[in-house]
Structure 1
Amino acid sequence: MTSAARTTPRFLARSAQALIVAAAVADVFRAVAVRDRHLHPTAAYLNRSGLVSMIFVNLMTLATVLFLVWLARSRRNAQALSPEAAVPSRGWLIGAWFIPVVNLIAPRRIVLDIGRAGSASWEQRETTLVNLWWGAWVAHALLLTAVSRVAPGSLPCLVVTEALMLAAAVLAALLIERVTALQGAAPTVPLTPQT
């Protein structure tokens, strides 16, 4: 048997953190390239924005997959550390991110439930970190949707949406670090083998 501390997904956490930040930086370049394409609708700008957008989509896809794998592993550890705690099912943990409207509310609750179940030392500051991360992420998504329809190419809107994206990425990296550290510091509890 292994201990919960030994199965804390540190490498997975670091990989997810790096890819989340890299995707956010790529999103800044993507947004600038798309803005340039709106201002200068030439083939060169179209090709550049297409290439940068493709890089962003690939990085964001990898970041999303790694984040969800890290979250699933953290869920398993939380359940092992607190078997009586309410943690989401594996299916809901993934599905909640992809159901329209539900994905604006449920993922925050899932992360909070996993964090609280995985650590007896979960405090208000961790809840605040989750709320800040989720607020920045949702604000970015909603503003990006509105801006792309109402004011594509607007520099002030671009700055605000990308600042929110970068803030959400940094806060996500801090959140991953905190949850992973709290689970790693939890008392050693034998895990039952997965079936």
Structure 2
Amino acid sequence: MTDTARRTPRVLARCAQAALAAAAVADAFRAVAVRDDHLHPSAAALHWSGTLSMVFVYTMTLATVLFLVWLARSRSNAQELSPEAALPSRGWTIGAWFVPVVNLFVPRRLVLDIGRASSASWERQRGTTLVNLWWAAWVAHAVVLVVASRVAPGSMALLVLAETLMLAAAALLGLVIERVTAAPPGRPS
């Protein structure tokens, strides 16, 4: 086992968690501003919703990049800690997030596999439940956004549901990152 495997990406994990939290909060403010512009169109409302949308895009892009770098680093650590583990390539660990339809189920499996390979103390049931809750919140958020945009644009109930799911997904992903990062290095022989 090398020193690289023993070093967990803690700073990277904290940065990803902070960026996720900022993106989730920015999304909530953006959604309210966009709804306000939809209900009461004006130049000021359009400008404000556009500004908040740009802030959200920038923070979400930063969160995505930091998360994927953290995930790739965690995958490398897991591979060194558990050479026998069947982990995907580094390219597929990142690429699976960008392939349509595949990105609805493969990334969840990747995170589970990395968590299990990272530590013998990864509690299969608790780790799996946490990842499943995060993934359900994330996919449900995406579904609610699509339904809301097509069926009831400007619906306050769907807006609140979508933003609640986004905040829940961000918080749960922060916990997933914590669990994988905090996994003690090494596996018992």
1:87-133: CA deviations, max 9, x gaps?
11111111110111111101000001111111111111011000000
Q: Confirm or deny that 1:10 pairs with 2:10.
A: yes
- Preserved contact between residue 4 and residue 188 of structure 1 (Cα < 8 Å): no
Shift, 1:3, TM fit: 5.0
AA partner of residue 100 (structure 1): P
Distance 2:187 2:100 in 1: 39
Give the CA deviation at 1:49: 0.4
Equivalent positions of 1:35-184 (< 5 A) are 35-123=35-123, 124-182=125-183
CA distance in 1, matches of 2:59, 2:45: 21
TM-score (norm. length: structure 2):
0.95
| Alignment match, 1:187 | 186
Unaligned runs of 5+ in 1: 190-195
Letter in 2 for 1:36: D
Query: Stretches of 4+ moved more than 3 A in 1?
Result: none
AA aligned to 2:155 is: S
**How far is the alpha carbon of 1:20 from its aligned partner?**
0.3
Q: CA RMSD in A?
A: 1.3
| 2:131/2:176 contact within 8 Å kept | yes
Q: Take 1:170 and 1:80, find their aligned partners in 2: how far apart are those partners?
A: 28
Quick one: distance in 1 between partners of 2:81 and 2:177? Answer: 17
Q: How many residue pairs are counted as aligned between the two chains?
A: 186
Instruction: Single out whichever of 173-182 and 146-155 deviates more from structure 2.
Output: 146-155
Shift of 1:42: 1.0
Q: Distance in 1 between matches of 2:176 and 2:130?
A: 7
Letter in 1 for 2:63: A
Between the two structures, name the one with larger relative contact order (CA 8 Å, sep ≥ 6).
Answer: 1
Q: Per-residue deviation at 1:80? A: 0.2
